[in-house]
A and B are shown apart, each in its own frame.
Chain A
Amino acid sequence: MLLQIDWFIIIEKFILIAVIVTTALIVAMYSTYAERKIAAFLQDRRGPNRAGPFGLLQPLADGVKLFMKEEIIPLTSSKTLFIMGPLLAMITATMTSAVIPWGWTIDVAGRQVPLQIADINIGVLYIFGVVSLGVYGIMIGGWASNNKFSLIAAIRGASQMISYELAMGLSLIAVLMLVGDLRMSTIVTHQVQHGWNIIYQPLGFLIFFVCALAECNRTPFDLPEAENELNFGYHQEYSSMKLGFYLFAEYINMFISGVVMSTLFFGGYDIPFVNEAAWGPHWWVGLLGFAALMAKAFAFIFLFMWIRWTIPRFRYDQLMNLGWKGLLPLALVNMLITAVVVLLLNK
C-alpha cells in the first residue's frame, strides 16, 4: 500500500482540535465576563453579579440574549457579503490556534503525542497570514453594510492593519534571527534552552505588543469601532448572533494574540526556573505546560483589558504617526542592532 493512513494521528489531531477550539471559545466567552468585571473594578463598581454566583453565568445569559434578538439584514446591503463578514472574522480568529505548541510532548500508550495541531516549518508566517486575513471580516462587513460609518470603519481597520503589521513583522524578524527558525515548536524549545526572548528583545516585545493591540482593534487603537464618532463602526448594522460573532472573534483574537506573545517572547509552555523536561513525557507534565501557557495568556488578556479601561483612544492621525514615524523606524533599528550582535557573537 502506498497510502498508509495512520488512523491514530487523525484521531489524535481531531481530539486536539476539538479541545483547543473549545478552550478558545470558552476563554473568549469568559473574557466578556472578565472585561466587564475588570472594567467595573477599575471604575469602583461591582460589575455583573446577578446571574449565578459572582455573576458567573452572565456570558450564558448574554449568549441567549444575542440568539433571541431579531436578525436584521439591511435592505440595501449585499446579503452574501453581509453574512460572510462575521463568518470570516470568526473562522480566521479560530484558525490561528493551529500552529501554536500548547504543551510538552506527552506519552500516550507508547505514542509520542505533541500538543500541537500542525508543526509546520513556517509557523510564524502562517500566523501572520491568517491574522492579516482577519481584517477581511471587518472590511467585508463594513462595506456590505452599505452605511457611511461602517465603510469609514472598514477603511480605518484596513489601513491600521497594514500600517501596524509592518512594524510587527520587523520586530518579529529580530526574534527569528535569534532563534534561527520559523517553526513555533523550535522557538519554544530554543527559549527553554537559552532563556526567554523577552530578556534579549525587550524593545522588540514592546513594539510587538503595541502592534498586537492595534491588530486586535483594542483600545487605544480601536478606531474601527470608535463608539462616539462612528456609532460602533463596522458592526453598526449587525444584530443578533452575527454581531455576537464579531464580538466573539475580537475576544478570540485577543486570547490568541496573548498566546502568540507568550510563545514568542515568554517561553510558551515553559515554567520558569523549573526543568520540566527532566520529568519525562508524562501526561501531567503536558498539562502543567498547558496551564503555564494559559496563565501567561490570561495575564496578557488582563493587561489588554487594563489598558482598555485606562487609556483613551488615539486620534486617527496620531495612530498613523505612531505607526509610521514611531514604531516602524524603531523596529528597523531594533532589527539592525540584533542582526549586528548576532553576527558578532557567532564569529
Chain B
Amino acid sequence: MERKPMTLAEKLYLPAIFKGMGITFSHLFKKKPTVSYPEEKRPFSDVFRGLHILNRDEEGRERCTACGLCAVACPAEAITMEAAERQPGEEHLFREEKYAAKYEINMLRCIFCGLCEEACPKDAIYLTKTFAPANYGRKGFIYKKDDLLIPNPLTDPEGYEKAKGTIGTGIK
C-alpha cells in the first residue's frame, strides 16, 4: 500500500475536522426515519402475513370444521386441533356438524407462510396484519382457540369489523 507523507493541511487536522463537523451539522435538520411505535404504526403491506384469526360466518358461527387440512399443510407443524361433534342445540355456535373443540397454534413454531390460509376449504383461517406481542414465557406463545377467534358479529359487531379490517388480501 502506498503511504504518502501527510500534507500540511492534513497534519493540521483542522480542515478535515471542520468538514466532518459540517457533515454532522447538516444531519441536525434531516428528517428522522424513526417511527414512534406505540403512537404511530407503520402501515403494513396488503400481503403482510401476521397473526392468524379464526373466522365466523355472518350469524356468528365458527366456520372451522376441524378437517385438519391446515395442520397438514403447515410446514412447521405449528397447528394442533381436536375435533368434536356438534350436539343438538349448538347449531347457533358451529356452522357444520363437526367443529374444533381445541385449536392451538404455536406462534414460536409458525413461520407465517400462509399455507394454512390457502389450504382451508371453509374460509375459516386467515392471516391478519397484526403480529405476536412479546410474552414472558413459551406457554404464552401457544395461542388457544379463544385467542384466535374473531369477535362474534352478533354480540360485538364493532370488534368483528375491526378484526375483519386487519385481514390482508393475501397473495391471490
Contact = CB atoms under 8 A, between A and B. Distances in A.
Interface residues of B, number: 14
Question: SS class of chain B's interface: helix, strand, loop or mixed?
Answer: helix
B25 A306 contact: yes
Interface of B: 13, 17, 20-21, 23-25, 27-28, 30, 32-34, 36
Given A42-B24, A310-B20, 16 more contacts: A41-B28, A42-B25, A42-B28, A44-B30, A44-B32, A46-B32, A46-B34, A306-B25, A307-B17, A309-B24, A310-B17, A310-B23, A310-B24, A311-B17, A311-B20, A311-B21
Nearest to A310: B24
B21 A306 contact: yes
Contacts of A23: none
Interface string A25-56: 00000000000000001111110010000000
20 contacts: A41-B28, A42-B24, A42-B25, A42-B27, A42-B28, A43-B27, A44-B27, A44-B30, A44-B32, A44-B33, A45-B32, A45-B34, A46-B36, A306-B21, A307-B21, A309-B24, A310-B23, A311-B17, A311-B21, A322-B13
Contacts of A310: 17, 20-21, 23-24
A306 B24 CA distance: 8
Question: SS class of chain A's interface: helix, strand, loop or mixed?
Answer: loop
Classify chain A's interface size.
Answer: 10 to 19
B20 to A, nearest CB: 5
B163 to A, nearest CB: 30
Q: Of B20, B24, B28, B30, which is in contact with the most chain A CB atoms at under 10 Å from its CB?
A: B24
Contacts of B32: 44-46
A46 B13 CA distance: 30
A46 B34 CA distance: 7
A42 B28 CA distance: 5
Contacts of B13: 322
Contacts of B28: 41-42
A317 to B, nearest CB: 15
Across chains A and B, which 6 residue pairs bring their CB atoms closest together, nearest first? A310-B24, A42-B24, A310-B20, A46-B34, A310-B21, A41-B28
B36 to A, nearest CB: 7
A322 B86 CA distance: 86
B42 to A, nearest CB: 15
Contacts of A42: 24-25, 27-28
A318 to B, nearest CB: 9
